Amino acid sequence: MNHLETFRVAMAAILANKMRAFLTILGIMIGVLSVILLTSLVSGLKTTITKQIAGLGSNLVIVVPGRIGGSRSPGGVQANRLTFADAINLKNKLRQDAQVCAVVQKTGTLKRLNINDKGAAIFGVQANYEKIISLKTEKGRFINEADVTSGRRVVVIGATVVKNLFGTASPLNQTIKIAGINYVVIGIAGSRGSIFGIDQDNSVLIPLTSAQKQFGITSPNTIYINALKAENVKDIQAKAKAILNKRLTEDDFSVLTQEQALSTISTVTNVLTLGLGGIAAISLIVGGIGIMNIMLVSVTERTREIGLRKALGAQTEDIRNQFLIEAVTLSGIGGIIGIVLGILLSLLINNFLQTTITWWSVLLSFGFSMIVGIVFGVAPAVRASKLDPIQALRYE
């Protein structure tokens, strides 16, 4: 029997059991779809965060509590040993070479009249924050030194907060409650978009001193250092480490350049990609087991047919190839449908969360689905090819 005839017989067998074929294809399809969808979400997250960090400028050095990848406390969380005195010390020592800004962050409820905005991000910042992270104030003004020095209750709000609390009305000079305390709106921050579903515009910025007093905060979440010259970034990083090391240990803080921050993010997202991709690949293996089970059942059901074909001259390899073609065809169809649906769903989700379809994930998931079809199709195919034609014809 030639290969074309073997393929035709295999296709006829698949079409004769449409429901069984559909269920088999479904398992592979879900696996391929999951791999593409999850990797596109993680890749989109990486792209978004990379753009956000790149937008901060190449002169930026970031100080965060705890050592990245370092030792942790028994509870699993690194204690924040940074203080505002550390930020002041850095500012004084680096005055000739860089600007320094301490930042705190909380989450709280915003309210205007009877309208609530729950879960908004509240940032306590200094007057130079706008310049250091290249934030634009679309309307009104940003927080100034006088606001910080006197601890005024003034606020710059994000675009989402404007929409949620004010609608089409102008928010400037209006009063909102931040965690129950009145603040006057003095400005509207430029839009910064979302990172993996977290809306950065659903946030407000208040003077650092106001945040310290209201929330009883004693440690900054982040200290931003902006080098006045790009070529001095490495030198500024080394100086910042030396200054902080006089009071703290290396496990108490990390000083990262933009390049290092991007590298850290890349490492994290790569691990996420492998982890989520591996989890999704499990469904492909489950689909492969489904193929093997279906093909074994098919061998049992078609025992007499196999015996008859062998009696009429079909060779062992013809029977083996037929069942192998059936398995590979089912996994191939499932792979193609999974790719199409995965791409379409990724494009649909991209309207809400940024997704980036990577072609390596498409090729890898399809290739893996074909391998699954071959591997899990071999056992049933070999079993079918080794049936004795006389015993097979007697099978009831």
Each residue of 41-96: pLDDT tens digit? 888 877 777 766 665 566 889 999 988 755 444 444 467 889 999 999 999 999 88
Residues 234-250: tens digit of each pLDDT: 899 999 999 999 999 98
The number of distinct structural domains making up the chain is: 2
Task: Write down the pLDDT at residue 285.
Answer: 79
Q: Is the pTM of this model over 0.75?
A: no
For residue 320, the 8-state DSSP code is H
- 242/274 same-domain check: no
Mean per-residue pLDDT for 31-47? 82
- 235/365 same-domain check: no
3-state class of 316 per DSSP? helix
Task: Write down the pLDDT at residue 392.
Answer: 52
CA-nearest of 118, 97, 94 to 108 is: 118
Residue 64 amino acid letter: V
Is residue 322 included in any domain, yes or no? Answer: yes
350 has pLDDT over 90 = no
- 274/190 same-domain check: no
Low-confidence winner among 17-21, 50-54, 128-132 (lowest mean pLDDT): 50-54
Range(s) of the domain holding residue 311: 3-50+266-394
- 174/233 same-domain check: yes
At which of 247, 282, 315 does a domain end? Answer: 247
Share of the chain above pLDDT 90, in %: 34
162 C-beta neighbours (distance < 10 Å), count: 21
Is residue 257 included in any domain, yes or no? Answer: no
3-state class of 65 per DSSP? strand
